[in-house]
Structure 1
Amino acid sequence: MNIIDELKWRGAVNQTTDEAALHDLTDKKQIGLYCGVDPTGDSLHIGHLIPFMMLKRFQLAGHHPVIVIGGGTGSIGDPSGKNSERKLQTMEQVHHNEDALSEQMHRLFGTENFRIVNNYDWLSKFSLLAFLRDYGKLFNVNTMLNKEVVASRLEVGISFTEFTYQILQSVDFLHLYQHEDVQLQIGGADQWGNITAGIDLIHKIEGPDAPAFALTIPLMLKADGTKFGKTAGGAIWLDPEKTSPYEFYQFWLNQDDRDVVKYLKYFTFLSQDEIADLAEKVKTAPEKREAQRRLAAEVTSFVHGPEAVKQAEHISAALFSGDVKALTAAEIEQGFADVPSMTVTSAAENIVEWLVATKIEPSKRQAREDVTNGAITVNGDRIRDLDFTLDPKAAFDGRYVLVRRGKKRYFLAHVTD
């Protein structure tokens, strides 16, 4: 199947310039294509996966993806439709973010048939006069003002700095067309104006028949109408230090039945037959959540590796059964990151005194009652003895004490020396 046909089947195409010509080109040759990301932070989040999944599919089909890290554009900001200017970062912070993002993208794409470039390498070489003479003369201000990404900001105001972003991104496309054999730029639906401005620049300099194309991705909304990737807890990061692999796995596992097939098409590399089979199971046995489990496993494996999937599944099984003894300290840290926590010393103490000191219990009377009634488990063991001495270093490498009060309420104590 042609890559464009596959992308359309997966619901991944919003707009294209001359789709028939792009389809024909990808049939005839392995093309170069790119997507840009500005180093505004030191980690990608799942929103970035949307265009990067497109690049990955092209890569698997034999095409040549390039990722542009916007060391140049990221230092000035992008008028992305928000009602405020992007906060400028120090170049030291920009360089730190560039290194972190490059490492993450190499994990997703490997090193074969894939390149990361930085637009600072060519944008920083322009003098102001050369920039205005060579490129500024080729952009009509009226046309730039009509681009949605700029027009949406005119009412609240936009600086000249961010206004020029469109020209800089166009120069990126021209540079990659000339030096990296790139014919296609991919981006979100809000980037259509910037991408087509780049095509216009290529046609003005290289000729109207130069094969340069745009492809944008639909805005991804959940069945309830809210934007995909937004959660009450904030962004879902690809950095395991910001969002643990278990939390990442759980995010995908908890997707709505109405959304899961769409996400299987977009975020996995499963075949049409495999996805059709899972879609049928959503209809006939939704309580088994097989589609969600497969989605969680596939995306987690792509981002964090197969071992992270095994670990996440192990944590999930232990939490479902209540048998936490088999978990490692690292799995305890991931699985109980969101429960109430406190810091304790490593000194052994009577269970009643310890429960009150950690504020897990409000009083000694309540603590004694809960222990006697079997409502307290420590590290997976039910405690009924009021004279029990709790040793904080007895389990989980001496790093944690996990307490469950009642059936579901957990507390995690971090042990210090």
Structure 2
Amino acid sequence: MKTYTYTGETLEEATRKAKSVHGDEPLVLKTRELRKKTLTEKGLYELVIAVQDEEKPLPQNSVKKRLEEISQKNYEQKKQESKITLESDIDFSERAKQITELLSSSPSSPKNPYNIPTPPQTPKKPTLQESEELKAIKKEVEQMSDRLKLVQNMLWEEKKPSPNTKIPQEFAEIYNLAKSSGIDHDRLEALMDLSLELMPLSMRSNSVTIKRYFREVLRKMVICKAERLEGAKKNIVMLVGPTGVGKTTTLAKLAARYSLMLDMRYRVGVITLDSYKIAAMEQLMTYARMMKLPIERADDPKDLSTAIDRLGYCDFILIDTAGHSQYDSQKLELLKKYANSDYSISVHLVLSASTKYEDLKEIYRSFSAVEIDSIIFSKLDESRSFGNIFSLVCDIKKPISYFSIGQVVPSDLLVASNDYFVDCLLDGFKNPNKEE
């Protein structure tokens, strides 16, 4: 006699594991509770059984081999019921492929991967019993898919980032996916704790439902500002941000969107405060001339009020500012004076999606002296991970108003949405303008 030990969340689960390997009548030697079930941890029970010496146990460290042999036993039972002879040397993945082919073929198909004996007479339509058997096999194929994912993560315990991380094995796939997106470690663990706390137990056995639920948690943590322009009158929008993030191009996209693309063609005027860069001034004037928009220039806060007055007939007044370092306190102070004019100005901070998380925090901290209303993220097409954006908006609790996804004016500007951002976060950047 040899003894073997199995564990499970309940004694019933441990018993099922033992029966699946050693048959229906294992000799139970001992049972005990290793860990009580709590709010944060599942229960753990141990079952010790005895079997005859000639039975060879499966290696304890080979999850994949155990799954293969369990699956083989299940198929041997189905073979006896339906008289299907399976070749014993077909491996786990090949068997799943062949079952799928069997399900997709017609009853008269010449394909016969399992060597099913074919009678000489004309094939009959499947009986009700045979249909039920096919449904059962199809269901088992779906279960195999989830088992294979468990095999891929069978070393999850060794790959956990820290001993204190309490993430069950079934969450390994979504955890690795979110980690690769660049979400900072502490926030990612908090997200996992939240998902484990709120997710119903019935949803945890399927990787698809786990990912769908986690996606919904992420979606609710991102704030996006809806574009409400009905009856717009005298909206003054100022774009601020560091050098090189694409403020001038983004302003041109907004101007084109408001004046050309929407059903309601708004009257748009442009003001530039960037008198330092001749190239930036010429670029903005070129855009304004192409779209036939009035453009004004202001060199100090008093000139800004005068320029706004001259464009008083416009529905939208877009203000382009000079880019400068977040560490230039003198220019930041001047920018604050521009924003604190006699008019109500909505300030949008333009940030590049390719900027790392720590720098995004520092830029926001410096420009927040201007009382930022929302964030515009540019250059999404130049980045392949967006955890830095997610981490920042969770920190600052400011809404995202627009995404700039390329250089094309005006089409490469999207009104921000939670669904689009979470898709980019988990699946990578997608340009909806180029999808077929």
Normalised by the length of structure 1, the TM-score is: 0.26
Give the greater-gyration-radius structure (CA): 2
Normalised by the length of structure 2, the TM-score is: 0.25
